[in-house]
Amino acid sequence: MPRLSVIVANYNNAQYLPDCLNSVLCQTYQDLEILICDDCSTDDSLKVLKNYQQRYPDKIRILRNDRNQGATRSRHLAIIEASGEYLTTLDSDDYYCEKRKLESEMAIVLQDRDTAGKDVMAYSNIRLVKSDKTRIGESGNSDSIQEGYILNEIISRSCMIPRDFIFRKDIYFDVGGFDLQVPMYEDWDLKIRLAKQYEFRYSGAIGTAYRRHGGGLSAAPKDEHIRWLRYVFSKNLSLVAEEDRDLVTRAFLEFQSRMKQK
């Protein structure tokens, strides 16, 4: 089976790393590496990581930045070093909640590759949990989960935005990778550019458990969120077919209005 690289960016998440790493190590898809880029953590992260690397030397590789560079650059550096033909991501404070998550998504991308000769993105639903793993609910439902060429839905944020999906490594570079000048919503920016060229396929399963614990960029002021949402939207609007731009813009403004009211 093709090798899969699971990219983990970490900064001061020592308390969550065991959940994260254990959830990958127990996956039924075993032809993988876990590539962690530590962004100069000041807690016990490095101690935890080295312990796991000693126990699983064939699975775990550790990169360490010589200065703090942020999650985006950390992911980018890890992707460059990844040995897998395929990639996926996992934040160090999150974890996979189903053992077949990676297997089911790999089956989708390989089926399309082998039967239709094309690349697709394969993703799963997202479970929202509190810091103690108490379940809040699922991010997607029958109305918000979309498949196929979903550029208009992703750029207007009128669907569930796929997270931690599987795709071929070369595709990351083909579409330009992360915009390292964008400090927020850079992952959404990448997904928009991917959606311009490739279809997204849904596995039907729940994949990642996303922790809501009030830290990281989610704690940034709402005005900052809105500023960068607008920037990424405006930057990529030209990718949308001209006849769809007014409709897409209205849908995005409706999303922005709902966000302001929260």
* Domains of the chain from N-terminus onward: 4-261 (3.90.550.10)
Check whether 2 has a pLDDT greater than 90: yes
pLDDT at 249: 98
Q: Could you tell me which residues come within 8 angstroms of residue 106 by beta carbon, excluding any fewer than 6 positions away?
A: 1, 2, 4, 29, 86, 122, 166
Task: State the pTM of this model.
Answer: 0.95
List, for residues 50-60, the tens digit of each pLDDT value. 999 999 999 99
Instruction: Judge contact between 82 and 177, C-beta under 8 A.
Output: no
Check whether 217 has a pLDDT greater than 70: no
pLDDT average, residue stretch 222-229:
92
Task: For residue 66, name the pLDDT band (cuts at 50, 70, 90).
Answer: very high
Check whether 215 has a pLDDT greater than 80: no
Check whether 216 has a pLDDT greater than 70: no
Higher per-residue confidence, 212 vs 197: 197
pLDDT at 134: 95
Task: For residue 213, name the pLDDT band (cuts at 50, 70, 90).
Answer: confident
pLDDT average, residue stretch 106-121:
97
Check whether 214 has a pLDDT greater than 80: no
Task: For residue 260, name the pLDDT band (cuts at 50, 70, 90).
Answer: confident
Cα 45 to Cα 11: distance, rounded to the nearest angstrom: 8
Check whether 124 has a pLDDT greater than 70: yes
List, for residues 158-187, the tens digit of each pLDDT value. 999 999 999 999 999 999 999 999 989 999
pLDDT at 110: 98
pLDDT at 208: 97
List, for residues 21-43, the tens digit of each pLDDT value. 999 999 999 999 999 999 999 99
